[in-house]
Structure 1
Amino acid sequence: MSLKKIFTLISITLCCIVQAQTLHLYGGSNQDQYLGCLNCDTFDKNSIWNAYSDYGNAFGSKSIWNTHGNYGSSYSTYSPWSNYASYPPAIVDQDGNFFGYLTLNAYKSERSELELAQILCQYHDAIRTDINGWYNKLFR
């Protein structure tokens, strides 16, 4: 199956399942640091897909896309992109329901099984170089 067909199927699935609820990321050792909205659109000020927001900016201190920050570095214990993170971001909905941790750490219990989380983990390096393009592939 071609990559384009895979993205089309993923997009349809995500639009139908994930868009039904707003998902947020919380990081830090107590998951008390807000890190943005996981499935909000690119115009939302809290969206990780908004390159001009605190959470979608590649240089933002609260952005999972900042390769030098606590929440985006592949070496940080708070980053989803660290294979050894002890405190990766938690995914919760607007009602506080927990959907697991966004993490590459295969040994972290309660790793998220959401399809969106798995896509982010698999393609995070590519996504951070074209956030808007990936948003369009995944949600449009």
Structure 2
Amino acid sequence: MGFKRFFLFVSILMCRAFQAQTLSLYGGSDQNQYLGCLNCDTFNKDSVWNTYGDYGNVYSSKSIWNAYGNYGSPYSTYSPWNSYASYPPAIVDQDGNFYGYLTLNTYKSERSDLELAQVLCKYHESIKKDISGWYDRLFR
């Protein structure tokens, strides 16, 4: 009996691991600009949590953390941090499934209801100041 339960438990864990979706951000008016991986670890070059990569660096033009860039400015129509953004980044998995828009704009239809998206929206100012620390809080 114990072996069967153990096998069932391991099987469930393996299924969950294989079903885990990599979530990516795409921005711009046609959502054709790749903006990085939303749930990849800090060592992944495409991660929004990698402060040395193109998508996690606060100075990169492709980063949602760049307060002066198209995709991170609170005034840009392409930024998740603009409460009136018309074209915030879309959250998409590797199979092309759409998980909504990452945006503070509460009037935007199809705003993401993912827990991670909600946390990012609520704490984005704090996260921008300590990206790797927030990664540890959220994922470790």
- TM-score, normalisation: structure 2: 0.87
Distance 2:83 2:77 in 1: 9
**Aligned-pair distance for 1:131?**
0.2
Distance 2:57 2:84 in 1: 24
In the alignment, what sits opposite 1:69? 69
Runs of 4+ in 1 over 4 A off after TM superposition: none
Which has the larger Rg? Answer: 2
Look up the SS of the partner of 1:91 in the other structure: strand
Name the aligned partner's letter for residue 25 of structure 2: L
CA-based RMSD of the aligned residues comes to 1.3
Percent of aligned positions that are identical: 76
In the alignment, what sits opposite 2:110? 110
**Residues 41-62 of structure 1, C-alpha deviations (whole Å, 9 max, x = no match):** 0000000000000000000000
Gapped regions of structure 2 (runs ≥ 5): 1-15
Look up the SS of the partner of 1:25 in the other structure: strand
Give runs of aligned pairs for residues 35-46 of structure 1, distance below 5 A. Answer: 35-46=35-46
Q: How many residues align?
A: 124
Distance 2:96 2:54 in 1: 22
**Aligned-pair distance for 1:123?**
0.1
**Aligned-pair distance for 1:20?**
1.4
**Residues 54-102 of structure 1, C-alpha deviations (whole Å, 9 max, x = no match):** 0000000000000000000000000000001000000000000000000
Distance 1:28 1:65 in 2: 16
Gapped regions of structure 1 (runs ≥ 5): 1-15
